[in-house]
Chains A and B, each alone.
Chain A
Amino acid sequence: VQLQESGPGLVRPSEPMSLTCTVSGDSITSGHYWGWVRQPPGEEMEWIGFIFHTGTTLYNPSLKSRVTISLHPSTNHFSLSLASTTAADTALYYCGRSNYGDFGDFWFEYWGQGSLVTVSS
């Protein structure tokens, strides 16, 4: 399974941003969670959210009002949209496939290489 992020690189503050994660070697309707994680420079990883193969989403409460994760089965990719960006959204954004046990037991089995997004004027 391989995942590859693609994104805008540079975003102006207050503008929305979108990232795409293209998946190969698995179908995004296969029964896993598909998620996004970001890492601001010098900071720890921050979970953004998941989307289940059914379309059910689970978001970080601190980002929930600005985040949308969507599935695109016809092209086997999923996407992240983040509204009203600020410099605090500057980060390396990773997509990943997550497996799970009971609710709350999630682990990322596969990760993309990451896509750097800088929010700056």
Chain B
Amino acid sequence: SYGQTQPQSVSVAPGQTAIITCGGDNIGSKSVQWYRQKPGQAPELVLYFTTDLPSGIPRRFSGSKSADTATLTISGVEAGDEAVYFCQGWDSRRDLVVFGRGTLLTVL
């Protein structure tokens, strides 16, 4: 698998900040995107180009990237944020899109 590494789960209380990481030597110089997926639903884009918000996604969502780790930060977590979040990037050595395994965000 060429997938990027994500923690299996993250739990936070409402109003707190959730931090979800995506790591691997495939991060490289290209952007990282983030999606969320709720049970039985299609994935939804929540961040693209590492830091940009699609229309309709609140500014509580933000992203960053270092040399080998991308981070999704959700501030002021709400019950409705509960979902699986997965990252997506580009493996320049093999010319393919790669996905992380996903992190289950649980709102306590």
Contacts and interface: CB of A to CB of B under 8 A. Distances in A.
B30 A104 contact: yes
Given A44-B101, A105-B30, A111-B42, 9 more contacts: A37-B99, A44-B99, A101-B49, A102-B30, A107-B33, A107-B48, A108-B33, A108-B35, A112-B42
A105 B42 contact: no
Interface residues of A, number: 24
Contact of A105 (B3, B31, B54, B94): B31
A4 to B, nearest CB: 10
Given A44-B1, A105-B49, A107-B49, A94 B42 contact: yes
Contacts, number: 62
Question: What size tier do the contact residues of chain B reach?
Answer: 20 to 34
A104 B91 CA distance: 8
Interface of B: 1, 3, 30-31, 33, 35, 41-45, 48-49, 54, 86, 88, 90, 92, 94-102
A47 B98 CA distance: 7
A61 B96 CA distance: 7
Interface in A53-84: 58, 60-62
B43 A108 contact: yes
Contact of A109 (B31, B45, B101): B45
Nearest to B42: A111
A14 interface: no
B96 A60 contact: yes
A58 to B, nearest CB: 8
A18 interface: no
Contacts of A104: 30, 90, 92
Contacts of A106: 33, 90, 97
